[in-house]
Structure 1
């Protein structure tokens, strides 16, 4: 199948090149409109108890506040002085009625909860608009009108915080790409020793990002897509396309160096590297599809962006790239750098392969022990959610949120809302029972309208602490008054509901990852043990990565260097990194094993096949991991803690997986397996051979080349 496709691409190379360029560039130009279609919401389970409380409080009781503004009276004045009250009230009254639905301020209501001493007063604004995007647009219209000259004005609340996150994300994305693409191109020139060869993977990466924009724009016509989907699409589109281009161009040049003509080199490249790219991309797409089992729109958005970018990277690598290689032929080495040398066996890899073959147990035991040790911090992980601390410490939206939380706790993340549905004749016994819950502050009535009665309280510790989450769970166990039902909401409740929604569905995601890996790797290699080993290796690598992330981002070791605030890790980011890293782990595993299986089918012994596969692919896998680490490292330079979490996690995973795991642990385990590594029951083997996915028979026969 892949051999035939390679022949077709070569014969129609000009048509294929023109068609793929037209589709990706045209789709990308249309996709530039996606930036105005993305949302910043979708972080919570929309069917959770806390989400239902938000809906009731906002829609039934009309208590939604999108913006909270703290005003600080200048020295020598108070909030009641006309020189303070007059300008503030005038600024609030001037806000356009078509953008603002309601303004509630201390000066209008004299409500005690809206002032703190004589220095601070609060105003809340409810924006006009039926949906989240309409309210975001309304905020963009009035943002510059909220500050009062001469009076310290701090603008906080959900919408300003998410608006800042969106703006910072888009800015960081542009900076990351401006850094990663030039650095990647320089590294590719050093790796390939040729400007033309180096430019091809970058071309594939750029087209992959461009094409992903078009796919995301199409999805926004029917679905809500979170802004961070762009970051994931850019990261994976550029990183994976460069990896795929690296392996394909490297194999093409290898075939030319062996004396093959251009047509044969293209055909062999597609049948080997191209086939591996197809399997790797399919595995990664299926791994990312595991995110679709979660109810949060932001995780689904990450899946959309990642799946689109990876699929397009693979399609471009299987169409445009071999077509361009067919056009270039030996000119792929055009503009070679002066220091380029002839290809030869990497001495270090040769020595490493020899050492692993001689003493496999000496490599397996300490590496497994080290990975398990790195994973230990993950066993005590505490899970949280995104808040203003995702912004850098000096960001105005974060400063405002922290200032408001300090002086007006009822508007902070520690606030709890209790909704009773039904007639409440005597709330005193219920209030007493709720007050008795450990970790919950005094419960007080807030509002009553129709069949709903709302009470307010605070958690007595940090909103994302284990103590606060336990307090919310205990509060939900309090018996409501007879004839009523109770719902508990607030930020701590949202954290509880989000973590529960994720942990409940993690087994489904793991089942998808494991099943896809076992099936596809069996189809690719015809072995039972190789897919099982790949799953175990990937889980070891992934657990170690999670342990390092918890050690840094939760425990705070090195947090100062990264300029992040230690706090519970986001459960959503853990599953996102899990899907990506698991896919990338099997990606490198597939590239490594494909050369080993190829050597084995060419007649080599198991020991020689393992050594040959390691030496042939080790340098390329290391180079691919280095390049992807550069790309993800650039995204890790983002000022947003979320992106730094992803960037650091990816770099750690790549360094562990592409060096320690793939270069040492995998060959050592295979050496211990011996010939059993290639075993499969006869019926399964026949089924795999009939499927055509393991096809190599159409390739030109060569004598086994022992490395």
Structure 2
């Protein structure tokens, strides 16, 4: 493989204007396509095969008026007043009448006739039903809904919104985190490389890659249901992987040029050697992300494929556009910054790193780890296990309005409803009787449901002769375990309840759907872990031609991801970070663990490949196992540190948003990457490899015969190039003598 990548790098170097033009043309094409498509992401989660989805499908078929999206409009009057007061009532009734004329709205409940007034008479609830799923409700309809409530606001009524769709429900992806992440990345690269041209190169290519990926996702959103978090994850990985892959190849190229190698030959050789490691690192990430498809959850599958696409684009850019930029930059990748106070300091540091790696801080750290390998291993494992303890208390759920900041309307609507009606009104359940049901039987069904534990109110909602619907209001909130227990209790007692109505029943609604999503995700975790780890094990075994290195890599990943889970639970679920991050403690987002497993496993494999490939390269040349650990870790420490810090700060930058979901994702990814890079890959990995010595590289003889050698360390490529250079030198010498 290294030979093919060498040729690709040389071709890109020589055809640099063509390569740059192709990538810019692709970027412009995707931007134009995205704008023309008008695609938008959404937050509608569906899982085929669950009872809540069966309920939605049944209602879509037999009672479409209750199958679409719903907005819960909360009207609140000041303290001491009542919603029934003439001025307030007139304003609310006028708003209700105007909401009925909004496009896509099929029904609006009147709180004064449909029992929508709170016991203290201070809050009224109106339910707005749409003729389409939340993703199909147009922004113009939501804007019109908000305008329709102008009479109520003019009367002095506070109007807030919640539900499956409401004005302002779409997550707006801010550019601020990306800008912060790029600025920090540039500073880190300048410090690490000491050259402005070199520092800007990976950032430029990453921006091009992210632009292509983001616009591609936006275009697909016009024909495919894509969750809003998909763009966030794609941007995170597109930026971080794009910078990391470019940096790894750039670092090898820069060091080779510093050692006196010709720029063109160095660019091709860097693409063949470091590029091989990048290919295996990227393939591991892509496999982990595509592995989300085995879970069988559409929104998670699409999220994984979008992120995998962003990583694939980053890989292709690193293998082609980076060598092309080497051609434009020439020797400027080694043009170092100097200051009047400390002339040529950066140049001295960079040349020391390239020409005398044994004198760098990374080398001193490697010697410390190898010398104290047993103590370091015990301390590192104990530290990660301690951080992982809170993960034993992880509770999964999808975020409700209670998790939002008070600046958001859904949070204010949630608080008003919980305070004046009860928390259960924020998450009603729909019990649907499938078949011809008499109204008296539906009333009897409501009576039976009202006797269930944790039920506050159960009342008939609709009956069209084909299906009957009862709205069940729990006493507990939508994310309380008691509500989940109620859903399971109704389903477990299905036979007894069905006898009261004479028809089969299904339990659905947004709250039941969220419960089913969380349960399905929890059940899918072990299957996903086995499939992804198994595939990655095969890939890493092929890369390093040994079984023990992949096993060590997987064990290290399990430690780092468990510690990241523990930190996330402590900060966001237990509430240790409520003041630091400005969040309300709530359940762990149900899709976060499986996303973390995919992404952190992929990224941890990146660092594993970057570190271990250098160690294997040294071991292949010298046969000194323990010395190879020291030298290989020393050579890779700077680039892995820079890459990990870039990823860390990019993920941290995404915590500067108002959305608690994105905050939790950014925090979890940042902690996971930091622990895996610095505690596992740069500490535990060299310590364990120093203890195992040459045994770690053992593989059976049949393995050597039947498993192809991808030459990830580029040994055969370098031998081939050395032979060619020697032959060319011989020809030149013979020519001079002739």
> If the length of structure 1 is used for normalisation, what is the TM-score?
0.92
- 1:18 alignment partner in structure 2: 21
CA contact (8 A) 1:69 1:156 kept: yes
What 5-or-longer segments of structure 1 have no aligned partner?
A: none
Quote how far apart the aligned CAs of 1:567 are.
1.1
- Once the two structures are superposed, what CA deviation does each residue of 1:217-265 show, in whole Å capped at 9, x if it has no partner? 4433542112222211211111111111221111111001111111221
Q: Provide, for residues 656-703 of structure 1, a one-character-per-residue CA deviation record: whole Å limited to 9, x for no partner.
A: 111111111001111122211111122222333456667531214789
Q: Pairwise mapping of residues 28-47 of structure 1 onto structure 2 (< 5 A)? A: 28-32=31-35, 36-47=38-49
Equivalent residue, structure 2, for 1:500: 519
Counterpart in the other structure of 1:646 = 665
Counterpart selection for 1:605 from 615, 624, 629: 624
Offset of residue 38 of structure 1: 2.1
Specify which of 154, 158, 171 is matched with residue 153 of structure 1: 158
Residue 322 and residue 354 in structure 1: after superposition, are their counterparts in 2 closer, same or farther (change >3 A)?
A: same
> Could you tell me how far 1:530 is from its partner in structure 2?
0.8
Residue of 30, 51, 54 corresponding to 1:52: 54
Once the 2 structures are TM-superposed, how far is the Cα of residue 431 of structure 1 from its aligned partner? 6.0
Aligned to 1:462: 477
| Map 1:344-493 → 2, pairs under 5 A | 344=352, 345=357, 347-409=360-422, 412-422=425-435, 434-435=449-450, 437-441=452-456, 443-478=458-493, 479=495, 480-482=497-499, 483-493=502-512
- Whether contact under 8 Å (1:414, 1:460) holds in the other structure is no
Per the normalisation by structure 2, the TM-score is 0.88
User: Per the alignment, do residues 389 and 269 of structure 1 end up closer, same or farther by CA in structure 2, a change over 3 Å counting?
Assistant: farther
Residues 39 and 133, structure 1, Cα contact 8 Å, conserved in 2? no
Listed one character per residue, the Cα deviations across residues 280-303 of structure 1 (whole Å, up to 9, x for unaligned) are 111101111122233444323321
Shift, 1:144, TM fit:
3.3
Alpha-carbon distance in structure 1 between the residues aligned to 2:82 and 2:710: 80
Cα distance, 1:58 vs. partner?
Answer: 6.3
* 1:111 is the counterpart of 2:114: yes
Is 1:340 the equivalent of 2:346? yes
Tell me, in whole angstroms, the C-alpha distance in 2 between the residues paired with 1:412 and 1:39.
28
Task: Tell me the CA shift for residue 432 of structure 1.
Answer: 6.7
SS at match of 1:664: helix
Other-structure match for 1:302: 303
The equivalent of 1:591 in structure 2 is: 610
**In the aligned structure 1, how far is the partner of 2:133 from the partner of 2:649?**
42
Contact 1:165 1:640 in 2 (8 A): no
Question: What SS does the aligned partner of 2:192 have?
Answer: helix
The alignment partner of 1:602 has SS state of helix
Contact persistence 2:257–2:334 (CA under 8 A): no
8 A contact 1:522–1:688 mirrored in 2 = no
Partner residue in 1 for 2:730: none
Could you say which residue in structure 1 is the equivalent of 2:689? 670
Distance change >3 Å, CA 76–CA 131, structure 1 → 2? closer
Q: Relative to 1, partners in 2 of residues 1:225 and 1:428: Cα closer, same or farther, differing over 3 Å?
A: closer
Equivalent residues of 2:196, 2:337 under 8 A apart? yes
Deviation by residue 1:147-197 (Cα, 9 ceiling, x = unmatched): 321322323132555x53524x32xx3111222222322222222111101
Structure 1 contact 195–333 (Cα < 8 Å) conserved: no
1:315 is matched with 316
Question: Which of 519, 522, 525 matches 2:541?
Answer: 522
Say if 1:43 and 1:440 are closer, same or farther in 2 by CA, change over 3 A. same
Cα distance in 1 between the residues matched to 2:372 and 2:513: 52
> Secondary structure, in 3 states, of the residue corresponding to 1:156?
strand
Whether the 8 Å contact between 2:462 and 2:470 is mirrored in structure 1 is: yes
What is the alpha-carbon distance in structure 2 between the residues aligned to residue 695 and residue 350 of structure 1? 23
Distance 2:369 2:672 in 1: 22
Cα distance in 2 between the residues matched to 1:534 and 1:224? 35
Once the two structures are overlaid, the 10-residue window that deviates more, 520-529 or 350-359, is 350-359
Question: 2:433 touches 2:469 (CA, 8 Å); kept in 1?
Answer: yes
User: 1:87 maps to which residue?
Assistant: 91
Moved more, 325-334 or 204-213: 325-334
- 2:105 corresponding residue in structure 1: 101
- Match of 1:476, SS state, is helix
Is this contact kept in 2: 1:196–1:335, CA < 8 A?
Answer: no
Is the Cα–Cα contact under 8 Å of residues 69 and 132 in structure 2 kept in the other structure? no
Matched position secondary structure for 1:97: coil
Residue 120 (structure 1) aligns with: 123
Inter-CA distance 636–78: structure 2 relative to 1 (3 Å threshold): closer
RMSD in angstroms over aligned alpha carbons?
2.7
Whole-Å separation in 2 of the counterparts to 1:553 and 1:244? 32
Name the CA shift for 1:564/1:452 in 2 (closer, same or farther; >3 Å): same
- The farther-off stretch of 398-407 and 267-276 is 398-407
Q: Secondary structure at the match of 1:595?
A: helix
Alpha-carbon separation, structure 1, partners of 2:188 and 2:372: 34
2:248 aligned partner: 247
Q: CA 1:83–1:438 in 2, change beyond 3 Å: closer, same or farther?
A: closer
Farther off after superposition, 177-186 or 567-576 = 177-186
Structure-1 separation of matches of 2:284 and 2:630: 25
Q: How many residues align?
A: 697
- Pick closer, same or farther for the CA change 1:427–1:211 going to 2, 3 Å: closer
The CA distance in 2 between the partners of 1:545 and 1:636, in whole Å, is 16
Q: Which residue of 1 aligns with 2:229?
A: 228
What is the deviation of 1:114? 4.2
